[in-house]
Amino acid sequence: MTNNSLTQLILDHSDDQELLERFQKSIETEHINKGETVLKEGETSNKLYFIEQGLMRSFYMRDYKEVTCWFAFEGEHITGIDSFFQRTPSKYGIEAIEDSLVNSISYDVMNEFLDQFHSFERIVRLVLTGAYFDLVDRVEMLQFLTTHERYEKIAELKPSLLHRAPLGQIASYLGMTQETLSRIRGIKN
């Protein structure tokens, strides 16, 4: 039996043995190299990824610049969320920032489980609820915190990010230019 964060999700929220077994059979494990893209902007996302090791990000283009909208660490999940849930071309690209080990579940399998298992529908609802509250925090950061405060918040919540991802990606995630982030980092050290 594989011990991974996807399985853990089921264990946390359901005791349905059939779901658990079929779920584990449906998981695909992949290695993704640093810099490799698993979803390109405009493609339809067919997989939800759970990261066992490594670091990935989702991003999109705006005014010819890449904007990073989310980082996903070990134990977290990532997908082209618009595309995966609405079956439309994705606005987002997804790539690995480090060599990563991921488990994935396909859209088709997920849909099958959503239809067949009430408990799975609930799990997905709870995951989405969590994603919602993450976004609420992000709104608050962008609306009220100064660039210095945003830096301090990320340094506190995700300290490892600061030496795992390139400056420009972190800056766009935090809603500032990379020059500004560089200056702040200089002052704080």
Q: How far is the CB of 101 from DNA (least distance, A)?
A: 19
Ranges of H-type helices in the chain: 5-13, 17-26, 81-86, 107-116, 118-144, 147-157, 161-164, 167-174, 178-188
Beta partners for residue 135, in sequence order: none
Query: What's the DSSP call for residue 87?
Result: -
Range in contact with a second copy (rule: CB under 8 A) among 25-33, 35-43, 142-150, 163-171: 142-150
Query: Residue 182 binds what, of DNA, a second copy, none (CB under 5 to 8 Å, by partner type)?
Result: DNA
Site map 115..134 versus DNA, x via CB under 7 A: --------------------
Residue 58: closest CA among 177, 3, 43:
43
Query: Residue 188 binds what, of DNA, a second copy, none (CB under 5 to 8 Å, by partner type)?
Result: none
Query: Residue 30 binds what, of a second copy, DNA, none (CB under 5 to 8 Å, by partner type)?
Result: none
156-188 core/surface letters (b: 16 or more CB in 10 A; e: else): eeeeebeebbeebbbbbbbebeeebbeebeeee
Selected from 5, 20, 76, 85, the binder of a second copy by CB under 8 A is: 85
Q: How far is the CB of 32 from a second copy (least distance, A)?
A: 25
Binding of DNA by 140 (CB under 7 A):
no
Query: CA Rg, the chain, in Å?
Result: 18
Range in contact with a second copy (rule: CB under 8 A) among 3-11, 95-103, 122-130, 149-157: 122-130
- Residues lying near DNA in the complex (CB under 7 A) are found at 146-148, 166-168, 175-183, 185-186
